[in-house]
Amino acid sequence: MSYTAIKAKAEKEWNWLENLPQPLIQLGMGTCGRASGADDILGSVQQTLKDLNLLARTMEVGCIGMCYLEPLMAVRKPGRPFILYGNLTPKKTEKILKRYLTEDDPCAKWGVCTIGKYRVEGIPPFEEHPMLSSQVRIALRNCGLIDPNNIHHYIAKGGYSGLQRALGMSPAEVIEEVKASGLRGRGGAGFTTGLKWEFARNSLKDTSYIVCNADEGDPGAFMDRALLEGDPHAVLEGMLIGAYAIGAAKGFIYVRAEYPLAIERLVKALADMDQYGLLGNSVLGSRFRFDIHIKEGAGAFVCGEETALMASIEGRRGMPRSRPPFPAQSGLWGKPTNINNVETFSNVSAILQNGASWYAGFGTEKSKGTKTFSLAGKVERTGLIEVPMGIRLKEIIYTIGGGGPKGKEIKGVQTGGPSGGCIPADRFDLTVDYESLAAAGSIMGSGGMVVMDQDTCMVDMARYFLTFTQAESCGKCLPCRLGTHQMLSILKDICAGDGTSADMDLLTDLSETVQKGSLCGLGQTAPNPVQTTLRYFKDEYENHVFHHKCKAGVCKPLFHYEIDQELCNGCGLCVHKCSTGAISGEKKEPHCIDLTKCTKCGICYQSCKQQAVTIL
């Protein structure tokens, strides 16, 4: 089938959906949505429609990014915009449908925002919601708006027009276009994508491979999962364009086994592509031949590193090797191989669809375009966001994220997962781009952003990340294998109150050695969390070492709870919650904690409404 024929068919279906005479109900069925109970909401929707004897269509969509409101539902009546409702329960769903569909009351107090042309009184439109107003969605352009299982939806939204355009250009022209857009690898290191492709193209002899790295191993990051679940074709189109540019006939997607839904969506997407002639011996009737295979990861963080990933695809232990030769010269089975991240490919398809200069219009001089982040941790509005490069951190955390939950003070943010660093709140003026994050000692990374507040201990955080990298170190090179082990045992000592002043110097020394001596990115970046916390939160280390105090109340040997006799109103809530019976006191009189019984579980601290429980 020719592209025009496919496009006509897809647009017909989309137009039909747009002008549906019945109400349309969209449900966010990504992993986040399902985990929050979207299946129950779907059941409730179907039951309510049956009870009310109403005709309406339901449709599954991916993650729209407002994960803190999951489960979500969007309802559209003919000639009206979608109204997005969040924090649903089956009962609430029933009420909304009943009131809106039969009584025409849009339940404005529960509405999050509207999506579409018209306005509904009392509900802000999508673009004005505080979480969305400063976002620019390019990679996530269709996430949450289309049915990821329906290739027609993607095509109707302009999908595969980028591929069609690329096939009309020479591979060298495609590479030039991507270079002109200024796109840099979104996997973390930020190497210029067009340049990487050019290297692979130049070493092409008989065959080469293209790989999509969806082994999103960073704890605290979920952009790639949401993208694959919400709009798999955007990634696959980018991969096809890349394959055409470098001359690859075979591609692999390396996905984590922990992402079953993403795999399911990819399998369906590949089957649809096959049916429409987007894969196989003659892609869209051209002479370009291409096939994609899915490779499931087996749970090794280091396989996100490209040489380890290739070893894993070949059926070996996923251990990195030294470079050169770079994969572009000698990769899978000794052939030139190009590896890009999920988000990079989604950007590629957008660039070919809309042109390089359009894309280069976003971002800063050196970092073009947008970047997705998974905003998580101690922040009011958690979720998946996409912002133009060059935005300030404070805008992400306070405007989009809405600041700390329950008004707690934010202490810092970890970008780049265990390979990145903690940036303190007083440096939130920093702009988000590859260079300035690196200057602050952190990295852009794949886009994890975990916010920490006053209840997070930074020494414990460094210990946590080291525990992770130490466990995930493949053990091939010595600096990483033994260095991380040694650093971890020092950090454990400090958290247990056995640290000495020499420990801090030793940590600094070891950090440098591990950084310089390790073979791959895992070891080279593993000391980042330690170095940044030492740099920005030295007082916390000193408190642990010299004063034996953990002010955040995390390192158990270094603090205890006490009830402020002035603030306590004797409500007895803590007595009820305490599982060890450590709290006693007369009703309406200040209580006190028996430290011999207290296990420091923190339940009293969290539950006290007067904030009378203090950390000493």
Partner 1 sequence: MEQAREALPVEPRIWPQILIMEDEMSVAKGLELVLSDEGYTVDLAMTGRSALDNFSQKAFDLLIADLRLPDIDGMEVIKKVKNSRPDTEVIVVTGYSTVSSAVEAMKLGATDYLSKPFTDDELMSAVRVALQEKKAFNTGAAEAAVAEPPVPALEPLPEDLQRVQEIMTQVWKEFSGTREELIPILQKVQNHLGFIPESTLEEIARFTRTPAASVYGIATFYEQFRLHPVGRHIVKVCRGTACHVKGAERILSEIETRFGMSPGQTSDDRMFTLETVACFGSCAIAPVVVVDDSVKARMNPTKTREVMEGMDHENQDQDQQ
Q: Pick the piece of the chain touching partner 1 (CB under 8 A) from 53-61, 166-174, 274-282, 379-387.
A: 379-387
| Cβ atoms of 267 and 261 closer than 8 Å | no
Among 448, 483, 523, 553, binds partner 1 (CB under 8 A): 448
Q: Pick the piece of the chain touching partner 1 (CB under 8 A) from 45-53, 183-191, 201-209, 307-315.
A: 307-315
Query: Under the criterion CB under 8 A, does residue 300 sit at the interface with partner 1?
Result: yes
Q: Pick the piece of the chain touching partner 1 (CB under 8 A) from 97-105, 121-129, 311-319, 485-493.
A: 311-319
Under rule CB under 8 A, how many of the chain's residues touch partner 1?
63
Q: Sheet containing 421-424: give its strands across.
A: 383-388, 370-377, 448-453, 410-415, 421-424
Pattern 214-243, partner 1, x by CB under 8 A = --xxxxxxx-xx------------------
HEC string of 483-508 equals HHHHHHHHHHHHHCCCCCHHHHHHHH
Among 17, 23, 26, 36, binds partner 1 (CB under 8 A): 36
Among 35, 108, 172, 567, binds partner 1 (CB under 8 A): 35
Specify the 3-state DSSP secondary structure of 84: strand
Residue 393 beta carbon to partner 1: minimum distance, rounded to whole angstroms: 17
The answer, yes or no, to whether the previous bond of 590 is cis (omega within 30 of 0) is no
Query: Under the criterion CB under 8 A, does residue 579 sit at the interface with partner 1?
Result: yes
Query: Under the criterion CB under 8 A, does residue 334 sit at the interface with partner 1?
Result: no
Residue 582 beta carbon to partner 1: minimum distance, rounded to whole angstroms: 10
Query: In whole angstroms, what is the distance from residue 163 CA to residue 169 CA?
Result: 10
Q: Is 572 exposed, middle or buried (0-12, 13-18, 19+ CB in 10 A)?
A: middle
Residue 268 beta carbon to partner 1: minimum distance, rounded to whole angstroms: 18
Torsional sign, CA 355, 361, 362, 364: positive
Query: Under the criterion CB under 8 A, does residue 533 sit at the interface with partner 1?
Result: no
Closest CA to 499 of 441, 422, 560, 555: 555
Among 135, 382, 484, 533, binds partner 1 (CB under 8 A): 382
CB atoms within 10 A of CB 481: 17
- Residue 423: what are its φ and ψ, rounded to 5°? -105, 125
Query: Under the criterion CB under 8 A, does residue 514 sit at the interface with partner 1?
Result: no
Closest CA to 234 of 137, 167, 306: 137
What is the per-residue DSSP string for 237-274?
HHHHHHHHHHT-SEEEEEE-TT-HHHHHHHHHHHHHHH
Query: Under the criterion CB under 8 A, does residue 29 sit at the interface with partner 1?
Result: no
Query: In whole angstroms, what is the distance from residue 317 CA to residue 319 CA?
Result: 6
Q: Which helix or strand (DSSP H or E) is residue 24 part of?
A: strand 24-28
Query: Under the criterion CB under 8 A, does residue 417 sit at the interface with partner 1?
Result: yes
Q: Pick the piece of the chain touching partner 1 (CB under 8 A) from 8-16, 87-95, 139-147, 314-322.
A: 314-322
For partner 1, the closer of residues 12 and 316 by Cβ is: 316
Residue 75 beta carbon to partner 1: minimum distance, rounded to whole angstroms: 23
Query: Under the criterion CB under 8 A, does residue 267 sit at the interface with partner 1?
Result: no
The label of the residue with tokens 């009184």 reads 121
Among 17, 27, 41, 70, binds partner 1 (CB under 8 A): 70
For partner 1, the closer of residues 348 and 555 by Cβ is: 555
For partner 1, the closer of residues 177 and 229 by Cβ is: 229
Specify the 3-state DSSP secondary structure of 354: helix
Beta bridge partner(s), residue 368: 363
Query: Under the criterion CB under 8 A, does residue 85 sit at the interface with partner 1?
Result: no
Query: In whole angstroms, what is the distance from residue 442 CA to residue 270 CA?
Result: 37
Query: Under the criterion CB under 8 A, does residue 407 sit at the interface with partner 1?
Result: no
Residue 167 beta carbon to partner 1: minimum distance, rounded to whole angstroms: 30
Pattern 463-492, partner 1, x by CB under 8 A = -xx--x---x-x------------------
Interface residues toward partner 1, by CB under 8 A: 31-32, 34-37, 67-68, 70, 216-222, 224-225, 256-260, 295-301, 312-318, 374-378, 382-384, 414, 417-418, 448, 450, 452, 456, 464-465, 468, 472, 474, 576, 579-581, 601-602
